[in-house]
């Protein structure tokens, strides 16, 4: 049999071309392209190899007309950390693009009254139809949003959910365990006076980090009250809360901030007050964002795979098979840098 050839200068490849080259039916090609469930790995590999060889690009308009899907995935954000949002966007976009979908990104303000928030959602859905949404914290735990999407039978996958996990699929890390590992690190260095920089009240993952850190210190036998401060997940919030913390007497010897942005703010407050990190006070954060290597000394932090979480959430959404109540956990890693050290023996 003479093999099929497709010259580089030939007309744009079609699904029929992909079917012939891969040796499968047109329906099978369609199932792979549309990300339908229960497609064997062997079939998927054949079709994807043919798509790559032919440089085949599906016609999104034709696909939309052929069915009820728009081939658009929405990403909803309400987070003050630019690093977090950029990494999530990159992860979701890479997966969406590889499946020949389009990505729509929207920021919504969940801090407004319920009526205003509902109006935002109504406008969002009215103006732009999507096949589903990736929800990021704190929206992952916004029950008004979940009710809104479910009432309209719109699929979603949540990143770092904390409430009502049985409602739908999600991707997370063990925030409490990660914060506990940081508490152990500071304890092993010899610290006994601690402060915690909280995140926004609506951000349940931040609450899990705070609680995990404090619970581990209590397990280790900490007898000194742990100071709480509100960093709000922002650099400016970290400065303001940091100034309050370092004014305490006795001053904490170690500060755990629930994200890197607020940790950097604490370091700025220390510098302004003439204190050296880590000589006078140890500071650590959470995320391992770009800011962790933009401050000096480099920030000790917890690495969470933000981009990979976005990828996993998008892939789960595009699979279209039901995963109700399944929260998949990814790993984390403690990243020890120069912002933490043993405390001085004499410190006021």
Beta bridge partners of 230: 198
Q: Which CATH number fits domain 175-304: 1.20.1600.10, 3.50.50.60, 2.40.10.10, 3.40.50.2300?
A: 3.40.50.2300
Res 168: pLDDT: 83
The domain 66-173+306-330 is classified under which CATH number: 1.10.760.10, 3.40.50.360, 3.40.50.2300, 3.90.230.10? Answer: 3.40.50.2300
What is the rounded average pLDDT of the residues 7-28?
76
| Cα–Cα distance list, 176 to 63, 160, 250, 306 (Å) | 43, 12, 27, 16
Confidence at 64, pLDDT banded by 50, 70, 90: very low
Q: Is the pLDDT of residue 62 over 60?
A: no
pLDDT (average), residues 186-200: 96
In the chain, residues under CATH classification 3.40.50.2300 are 66-173+306-330, 175-304
Superfamily of chain region 1-58: lambda repressor-like DNA-binding domains (1.10.260.40)
pLDDT of res. 59: 60
What pLDDT does 1 receive?
A: 41
Q: In the β-sheet with 282-284, what is the strand arrangement from edge to edge?
A: 227-230, 194-198, 254-257, 282-284
CATH 1.10.260.40 domain locations along the chain: 1-58
Task: Report which secondary-structure segment, H or E, holds 31.
Answer: helix 26-33
What's the CA gap between 153 and 132, in Å, rounded?
9
Q: 2-16, 172-186, 224-238, 298-312 — which is least confidently predicted? A: 2-16
pTM of the model: 0.77
Q: What is the mean pLDDT of residues 100-104?
A: 91
Helices 114-127 and 143-151, packing angle to 10 deg:
40
pLDDT score, position 322: 53
Query: Region 285-300: what's the mean pLDDT?
Result: 95
Residue 60 has pLDDT above 70, yes or no: no
Helix axes 175-189, 204-220, angle to 10 degrees: 40
pLDDT at 302: 98
Q: Considering the chain, what is the average pLDDT of its residues?
A: 88
Cβ neighbours of residue 11 under 8 Å, at least 6 residues apart? none
pLDDT in tens, 304-340: 999 999 999 999 998 866 555 688 999 999 999 999 9
Structure confidence at residue 129 (pLDDT): 80
| Cα–Cα dist 237/245, whole Å | 12
Give dist(CA 285, CA 218) in Å, integer: 20
pLDDT tens digits, 198-243: 998 888 999 999 999 999 999 999 999 999 999 989 999 999 999 9
Percent of the chain with pLDDT over 90: 64
Tokens of 270: 């220390």
pLDDT confidence bin for 299, thresholds 50/70/90: very high
Distance, CA of 111 to CA of 134 (rounded, Å):
19
192 φ, ψ to 5°?
A: -135, -5
């Amino acid at each position: 049999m003479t093999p099929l050839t497709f010259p580089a200068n030939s007309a744009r490849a079609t699904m029929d071309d992909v079917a012939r080259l891969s040796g499968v039916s047109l329906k099978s090609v369609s199932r792979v392209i549309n990300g339908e469930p229960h497609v064997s790995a062997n079939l998927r590999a054949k079709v994807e190899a043919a798509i790559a060889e032919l440089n085949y690009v599906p016609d999104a308009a034709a696909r939309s007309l052929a069915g009820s899907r728009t081939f658009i995935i929405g990403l909803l954000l309400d987070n003050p950390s630019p690093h977090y949002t950029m990494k999530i966007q990159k992860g979701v976009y890479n997966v969406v693009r590889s499946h020949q979908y389009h990505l729509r990104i929207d920021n919504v303000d969940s801090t407004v009254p319920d009526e205003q928030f509902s109006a935002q959602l109504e406008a969002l859905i009215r103006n732009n139809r999507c096949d589903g949404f990736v929800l990021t914290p704190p929206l992952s735990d916004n029950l008004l949003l979940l009710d809104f999407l479910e009432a309209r039978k719109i699929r979603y996958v949540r990143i770092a959910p904390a409430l009502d996990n049985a409602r739908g699929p999600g991707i997370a890390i063990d925030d409490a365990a990660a914060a506990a590992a940081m508490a152990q690190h500071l304890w092993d260095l010899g610290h006994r006076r601690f402060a915690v920089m909280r995140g926004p009240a609506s951000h349940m993952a931040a609450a899990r980090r705070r609680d995990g850190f404090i619970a581990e210190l209590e397990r280790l036998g900490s007898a000194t009250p742990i100071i709480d401060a509100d960093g709000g997940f922002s650099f400016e919030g970290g400065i303001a809360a940091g100034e309050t913390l370092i004014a305490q007497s006795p001053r904490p010897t170690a500060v755990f901030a629930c994200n890197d942005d607020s940790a950097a703010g604490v370091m700025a407050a220390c510098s302004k007050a003439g204190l050296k990190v880590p000589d006078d006070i140890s500071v650590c954060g959470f995320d391992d964002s770009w800011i962790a290597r933009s401050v000096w000394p480099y920030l000790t932090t917890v690495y969470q795979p933000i981009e990979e979480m976005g990828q996993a959430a998008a892939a789960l959404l595009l699979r279209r098979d039901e995963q109700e109540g399944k929260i998949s956990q990814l790993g984390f890693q403690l990243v020890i840098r120069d912002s933490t050290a043993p405390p001085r023996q004499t410190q006021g």
